[in-house]
Structure 1
Amino acid sequence: MKITNVKTIVTCPGRNYVVVKIETDEGLSGVGDATLNGRELAVAEILKEHIAPLLHGKDPDQIEDIWQHIFRGSYWRGGPVLMTALAGIDMALWDIKAKKANLPLYSLLGGKSRDKVLCYTHVSGRDFAEVKENALKYMEQGYKALRFQVGIPGCKGTYGIENIDSNNLPFVEEWEPRPYLQTIPKLFEYLRAELGTDLEMLHDVHERLTPVEAKILAKELEPYQLFFLEDPLRPEHKESFRIIRQGAAIPIAMGELFNTKWDCLTLFEEQLIDYIRCDLSHIGGLTEAKKIANWAEVYHVKTAWHGPPDISPIAHLANVHLDLAVTNFGIQEQCAFAPEVRDVFSAQPLFNDGYLSVAEVPGLGCEVDEAAAAKYPYRRSYLPVSRRKDGTVQDW
């Protein structure tokens, strides 16, 4: 079997997605997700102009060799744009391999370690009462784990609450650490009292705090037994996590901004986190994620792959296939898609009573309707940005 064509499909059914479709001389094709929110066209260009020409005539079965060739062969390796492009190629190659074997993808990853995977979704509100009201709706659907965010008094457009583009330019939030640190422990005190002790609760800091601030927050959240505290620090300086670990007994999750397995090195070896949250679409796909999961197992770290709506159903299905296979699965993030997504993508993970699974079909289990995709042209958009009250740029 040989690769005959590599297509890059950019579509916007509700939001922008970049899809890779690899075609072969035997009629089999595979799809992958290469979406990088806010920088979609950069990935599409590197796929079309630099990577696709390398793949014509290659054997799609040689996934590891192709992965290494794209990653190491360019010399200028790594970074979110290249690794997202590589992820799209990698997923599409795994999709072809599983289709050729006539097996669901998880079977090629070692087979099932479980029948279904626990998932969580996002719950937010302008105040505590609205958060509770929204949480009860999700609990009625069967969710057993929820991630909570709330509006912060005196701040504008808190992360997870209200992020609206204006004239296709970034929405600008206004944020300060003091009211945030005063509000979040009170939120979880309220939620535990109102929603009980059985519900698994999570919170995303979104890399906004200094190490000492994160230590303070983690310590104050200890009594409310969070499933994990997500992304408390920026990703660049891994040693800062020692400060949190030494000061609080709370599970920590990190990794959605990581691009390779080497980003995990210090956090794993020093056991500074409990859950690894890499995004399969931003770390080179299933090939790298499987290696990270196996490595994490040695250090008692579980998986919690990134799963926001700004990656397509293809990546979400890849998440669940890997969740089903690895022994050290922890939890899976998942969010609802815009209704238009169903016009373009044939399938999504199956949700039932708080758990996700996949259809028992060959490959990833998703196809892309190219004609429908063309009806939803790309629209420039950005993630929000955040600033302090004095105007200083703050991590969003």
Structure 2
Amino acid sequence: MKIADARVIVTCPGRNFVTLKIVTDEGVTGVGDATLNGRELAVASYLRDHVVPLLIGRDPARIEDTWQYLYQGAYWRRGPVTMSAIAAVDTALWDIKGKVAGLPVYQMLGGRSREGVTVYGHANGETVDQVLTEVARFVDLGYRAVRVQCGVPGLAKTYGVSGDKMFYEPADAALPSEATWSTERYLAHVPAVFARVRDEFGPHLRLLHDVHHRLTPIEAARLGRSLEPYALTWMEDPVPADLQEGFRLIRQHTTTPVAVGEVFNTVWDASQLIREQLIDYIRTTVVHAGGITHLRRIFDFAALHHVRSGSHGATDLSPVCMAAALQLDIAIPNFGLQEYMRHTDQTDQVFPHDYHFEGGYLHPSEAPGLGVDIDEEAAARYPYSPAYLPVNRLEDGTVHPW
């Protein structure tokens, strides 16, 4: 069997996705997600211009060899564009391998380590009362874990607070929108939010919060300590992870667990944080960390250091990526949580799949391969539409992490 064709498909059923579809000379196909939020066309070009010509004629069964060929052979390694492109190839090849074997991918990763994948939803509101209403909605849907984000008094707009509660998409404009941020207002408000949520829903619901890289280490330490009475499952992305030594300062001052890594691309981005046990959950994804092959390496390394998975799963990950993530989540021994933001009906029509949510868990497909595909005819009805993530500024106008 040889790879006969590889097509890059860009579609926008509510938001932009990039998908690679590999076709073998025996008619077996596989799909991989290559979406990079706000920079989708860069990955599409990388695939079309630089990767697809290398795939034609290769043996699709040689997944590891192809991964190394694309990673080491490029010389200019790592980075989100390169690793998202490699991820699409790797994921599509795993899909093909499963179909040839007649097995879901997780069976080739060692089989089940659990019956279902615990996922969390996003409860948000401009006011605390609105937040409580949204948390109750997710509890009623059966969720066992909920991320809580609330508007900050005095700020017109806050990341994570949206009009559309179920299908939140931050990439919302043809040119970046801007918002104003105040760390002081935020730190003063967040503990009171979680006091209300915990009082309303009791001690057993797993609660999470995304800081989104907006604090310094000592500010994050202060936040973590103030949230300790409310027993969060994690405090996500408290500081930018460029200077990883900063996480030591957070660890010295709070026992609130820390999750980080959705912007990481390789094990090297996370190695110090994992090795020194400066984090509790690693949030790298199939699409941004080189596919199933490399993400499994990251999770295996994390398992040696008491770090669990907590993969990113926002709407910029297509159902192709979610299907692949679930195949890995169900198999690894150190699974923690999986983010799950539901896609729109249009997206689900473009990407037919049979993973499903039941009883607070997501369940991977039992079909051979990943159990997901792309309807190219439906995809063609939704052309690419420019959409950027927002920009944050402090009250004095300084650009700040959003």
Bucket of the pairwise TM-score, normalised by the shorter protein = over 0.9
1:375 match: 381
Query: Structure 1: which 4+ aligned runs deviate by more than 3 Å?
Result: 162-167
Letter in 2 for 1:373: A
Give the match's secondary structure for 2:330. Answer: helix
1:234 aligns with 2:240: yes
**Alpha-carbon distance in structure 1 between the residues aligned to 2:60 and 2:257:** 40
What residue identity is the alignment partner of 1:76? W
Distance 2:80 2:370 in 1: 23
Q: Which residue in the other structure is 1:270 paired with?
A: 276
Partner of 2:180: 174
Alignment: residue pair count: 396
Instruction: State the Cα distance separating 1:359 from its structure 2 match.
Output: 2.4
C-alpha distance in structure 2 between counterparts of 1:297 and 1:348, whole Å: 29
Q: Cα distance, 1:166 vs. partner?
A: 7.1
Change (3 A) 1:308 1:166: closer
Aligned partners of 2:172 and 2:390 also within 8 Å: no
Corresponding position of 2:4: 4
SS in 2 for 1:325: coil
**TM-score normalized by structure 1?**
0.98
- 1:339 CA displacement: 1.4
AA partner of residue 333 (structure 1): E
Instruction: Find the residue that maps to 2:125 and give its secondary structure.
Output: coil
The aligned counterpart of 2:303 is 297
TM-score normalized with structure 2 length: 0.97
Q: Report if the CA contact (8 A) 2:261-2:283 is conserved.
A: yes
Looking at structure 1, the residues matched to 171 and 224 of structure 2 have their Cα atoms a distance apart, in angstroms, of 32
CA deviations over 1:164-203 (Å, ceiling 9, x no partner): 7776211211111000001111111111111111111000
Question: Which residue matches 1:72?
Answer: 72
Q: C-alpha offsets along residues 128-157 of structure 1, whole Å, 9 cap, x if unaligned?
A: 000001111111111111000000111122
1:384 and 2:390 matched: yes
**Matched position secondary structure for 1:259:** coil
Structure 2 partner of 1:319:
325
Aligned residues of 1:164 and 1:171 also touching (Cα < 8 A): no
Match of 1:194 in 2: 200
Q: Quick one: distance in 1 between partners of 2:362 and 2:318?
A: 16
* Structure 2 unaligned blocks of 5 or more: 163-168
Partner of 2:165: none
Equivalent residue number for residue 281 of structure 1 = 287
Quickly say closer, same or farther: Cα 1:160–1:167, change in 2 above 3 A.
Answer: closer
Distance of aligned partners of 1:164 and 1:233 in 2 relative to their CA distance in 1, 3 Å threshold? closer
Q: CA deviation at 1:98?
A: 0.7
Q: Counterparts of 2:365 and 2:396 in 1: how far apart (Å)?
A: 51
Residue identity (%): 49
Compared CA separation, residues 140 and 388, structure 1 to 2 (3 A): same
Q: In structure 2, what is the Cα distance between the partners aligned to 1:290 and 1:152?
A: 38
- Inter-partner Cα distance in structure 2 for 1:49 and 1:164: 29
- Closer/same/farther in 2, CA of residues 376 and 62 from structure 1, 3 Å limit: same
Identify which of 323, 334, 343 aligns with 2:340. Answer: 334
Equivalent in the alignment of 2:50: 50
The offset of 1:353, in angstroms, is: 1.7
CA RMSD of aligned residues (A): 1.1
Cα distance between partner residues in 2 of 1:348 and 1:15: 21
In terms of mean alpha carbon deviation, does 36-45 or 152-161 score higher? Answer: 152-161
1:72 partner amino acid: Q
What stretches of structure 1 of length at least 5 have no aligned partner?
A: none
Specify the alignment match of 2:166 in structure 1.
none
